[in-house]
Chains A and B, each alone.
Chain A
Amino acid sequence: MATTAMAAAAISATPSTVKNSFYACNNHAPFLSSCRPRLSFHHRLSSSPLTLPSLSAPKYSPIHRHCAASASSKVDASIANFHGPCYVLGDNIDTDQIIPAEYLTLVPSKPDEYEKLGSYAFIGLPSAAYSTPFIASGATKTGFPIIIAGANFGCGSSREHAPVALGAAGSRAVIAESYARIFFRNSVATGEIYPVECERVGLWKECTTGDIVTVELGENRLINHTTGKEYKLKPIGDAGPVIEAGGIFAYARKTGMIAAPSN
């Protein structure tokens, strides 16, 4: 499919760029997680203005991850958008399909293993049902910044490796009918991927992998440019304050539960 090929080509140019910004702020301490995580969703989004390509020449502009300091500057959520080709899945996509157990020896808080996890995202999907690979052969990042799924996404294990793998692979948001609770919780706590719920049951059946979509968080709206359809998204609900603050640690600091890190 032309879109996928272009997306793949765009992505193949990405790794070194991401890597440069990534390792630039690595303080080389052992076992410390990368300085990438713990950014608030809003902070990450706003630091990388997206170019909206014209409909005739769809192209995925990869989001560069900036290793800014912790979420000190809050950004207006209404300008937070995701855009690009979507990857479409059905119901009950479990954590073994997102990141099979044999890869769980990788420790997400180690930067190089974090990246490796990303390269294995969705490798557990049966090829018969999902003929387009989430990550193109030879690539380590995905060409699909947005995932569209059915009900009970992320069911199964509590492994945080699941949302981490998706985030490390370069996806930004999942739009699903519903989530399994541990996966949802882990997505919110880590800030790796934005777990959005859609109003429409069966949304995934109206989308095809490769469709160009825009997710407008501020407007609670999903636009499928390829089909011309628009869908309502649900507001984030109780998880909102935690995501707004930047994850469970930032929220706890904000509400006075814990102090800032000592070093």
Chain B
Amino acid sequence: MASLLNASSSAIFGAKKELCVAPCSSMAHRSRRHASNKVLAVMAPAQSPRTPSASGSVKHAMTMTEKILARASEKSHLEPGENVWVNVDVLMTHDVCGPGTIGIFKKEFGQNAQVWDREKIVIIPDHYIFTSDERANRNVDILRDFCLEQNIKYFYDIIDLSNFKANPDYKGVCHIALAQEGHCRPGEVLLGTDSHTCNAGAFGQFATGIGNTDAGFVMGTGKLLLKVPPTLRFVLDGEMPNYLLAKDLILQIIGEITVAGATYKSMEFVGSTIQGLNMEERMTLCNMVVEAGGKNGVVPADEVTFKYLEDKTSKNFEPVYSDDNARFIQEYRIDVSKLEPLVAKPHSPDNRALARECKDVKIDRVYIGSCTGGKTEDFLAAAKVFLASGKRVKVPTFLVPATQKVWMDIYSLPVPGSGGKTCSQIFEEAGCDTPASPSCGACLGGPRDTYARMNDPQVCVSTTNRNFPGRMGHKEGQIYLASPYTAAASALSGYVTDPRDFLM
């Protein structure tokens, strides 16, 4: 295995790795997990930044992430490990972290300070919205007061909690709103006070989650000190089977590299399979990069990206792409045609198992929602399974569209092969709960009265992103993370179910 960096010629200074795609027993998985901690190539130790004249360094090829950060820090070249001040294109915050961020901003910059750019801050209430919790409601008020004071251009406000449709500005889940409202653009730097900000990497930009203090700093300066991450490259090739979704791909990867496998690293997704994914599927992939510890995820922008952006933004953008001989610390190759539907069993996103091997796990409920699994494509996928079955669900099945747009799509888009039925009709016929008001909902539990919160120790199959103890509410709740296909199939049988039971 290559260990030292050969600066001038080697494209990849870690070993290339074929991911195990055969079903593995849990024992093998555990021992592989320990082994992978030792096997991964170690990059060259981080070096303090040197001026080009002092080092006489040759200009090296750069990865996408390195290029984006180089441009944003006004440097011609960057190495992984360097700490640089980066210009931020968009800062996002929501109702949970916004008030704290605002508090820090005012304390550090002064009560009368102005934000660095009123058009580059996007404030999106989405987490604890449809609740009677007074503090939660107050937090949205805090956002509103600040937006009025600062004349923030993009504030997706909600005032009437009893009817989300009565709020023309309200969108819903921040990461999907950012995409749908045209705030995600190739080549840019997007920071958000939420771990799933990495979702936007699907657009070929650098997007990562930060805390209140960092965000307060960006609010005043438009800059942040960031450490340049090295990149792990994932090459996904092969025709996507009709029973697999992007969720299965990312669960496969997280299961392989573990919840800390990408810590402080960038995850780059390329290959023919990726090129065939639509934008929402690419978002699902990048969304869960943080679950592997990743700093950010990227998918190179292409025609699919540009088409999506056509009617959403008129801003100019300049995509960047990894150089041919850019250096990656590790490259993984995956033949997608060999994969099978997966779940992440309780209580870790890397506790990977084949859905079909969990067919004896009786479940109590199914949850389809969140930035990870509550987009239009996710609901279309679930509808496809319900349509193929024609039967009714055996357990309570909760549907929480991510945004107003998604909700409208559920009620208006015809589902292919259904003779013109909408998702909502198919869901109703299958006996699912009525699609709820768009928000983050019970993905992270939330206040006690949150719709679909798990308040008892039940077993749930969910299209969300994390299943650590207590994630959806009850500490003893058992959450199986899955794709919308697998979630719908499981709802129909009352057990964790491989969607091929219905799709083939």
- Interface set of A (CB-CB < 8 Å, partner B): 29, 31-33, 38, 92, 94, 96-97, 100-102, 104-110, 124-127, 151-152, 155-161, 178, 180-182, 185-186, 189-190, 237-238, 242, 247-249, 251-252, 257-258, 261-263
Given A96-B469, A105-B139, also A158-B193 (CB < 8 A):
yes
Asked if B103 contacts A104 (CB within 8 A), the reply is no
Q: For window 458-475 of chain B, which residues contact chain A by CB distance below 8 Å?
A: 466, 468-471, 473, 475
Q: Are B260 and A178 in contact (CB under 8 A)?
A: yes
Complex Cα distance, B142 from A141, in Å, reads 28
Shortest beta-carbon distance, B91 to chain A, in Å? 13
Q: How large is the interface on B (under 10, 10 to 19, 20 to 34, 35 or more residues)?
A: 35 or more
Contact A96 to B448, CB < 8 A, known contacts A155-B293, A181-B264, A262-B110: no
User: Can you sample 20 A-B contacts with CB below 8 Å?
Assistant: A29-B111, A31-B142, A92-B468, A100-B470, A105-B96, A105-B133, A108-B212, A124-B470, A158-B194, A159-B211, A160-B97, A160-B100, A160-B211, A160-B212, A181-B263, A185-B211, A248-B213, A252-B225, A261-B109, A262-B110
Binds A, one of B61-69, B216-224, B269-277: B216-224
Which chain B residues lie closer than 8 Å to A248 at the CB level?
A: 213-214, 217, 225
Q: Are B111 and A102 in contact (CB under 8 A)?
A: no
Q: Are A31 and B102 in contact (CB under 8 A)?
A: yes
Q: Binary interface profile of B, 470-504, with partner A (CB < 8 Å = 1, else 0)?
A: 11010110000000000000000000000000000
Flag whether B46 is at the interface (Cβ < 8 A).
Answer: yes
A32 near B106: Cβ-Cβ < 8 Å: yes
Nearest 9 CB-CB pairings of A with B? A109-B103, A160-B211, A158-B209, A186-B211, A105-B135, A262-B110, A189-B213, A101-B444, A158-B195
Contact A96 B466 (CB under 8 A): yes
Contacts of B75 in A (CB 8 A): none
- Contact status A182-B209, CB under 8 Å: yes
Of the residues B46, B107, B113, B348, contact of A33 by C-beta under 8 Å:
B107
Given contacts A31-B106, A102-B447, 6 further A-B contacts (CB under 8 A): A96-B470, A108-B212, A152-B263, A182-B195, A182-B210, A252-B221
CB atoms of B195 and A105 under 8 A apart: no
* Among A105, A125, A127, A257, contact of B136 (Cβ-Cβ < 8 Å): A105
Q: What CA separation (Å) do A177 and B420 show in the bound complex?
A: 56
Most A CB contacts (10 A, CB to CB) among B133, B212, B263 go to B212
Residue of A nearest to B468 (CB): A94
In the bound complex, CA of A102 to CA of B225 (Å)? 31
Q: Which residues of A contact B107 (CB under 8 A)?
A: 32-33, 109, 261
Could you say which residues of chain B place their CB within 8 Å of the CB of A242? Answer: 225
Contact present for B97 and A102 (CB under 8 Å): no
A127 to B469, CA, bound (A): 11
Interface contact A160-B468, CB-CB below 8 Å: no
**In the complex, chain A residues whose CB is within 8 Å of the CB of B139:** 105, 107
B99 within 8 A of A: yes
Task: Give the CA-CA distance A181 to B294 in the complex, in Å.
Answer: 8
Q: Which residue from B111, B127, B213 sits with its C-beta under 8 Å from A160? A: B213
Q: Is the CB of B109 within 8 A of A262?
A: yes
Nearest-neighbour CB distance to chain B for A263, whole angstroms, equals: 5
Chain A residues contacting B217 (CB-CB under 8 Å) are: 189, 248-249, 252
Contact residues in A for B135 (Cβ distance below 8 Å)? 105-106
Residues of B within 8 A of A125 (CB): 469
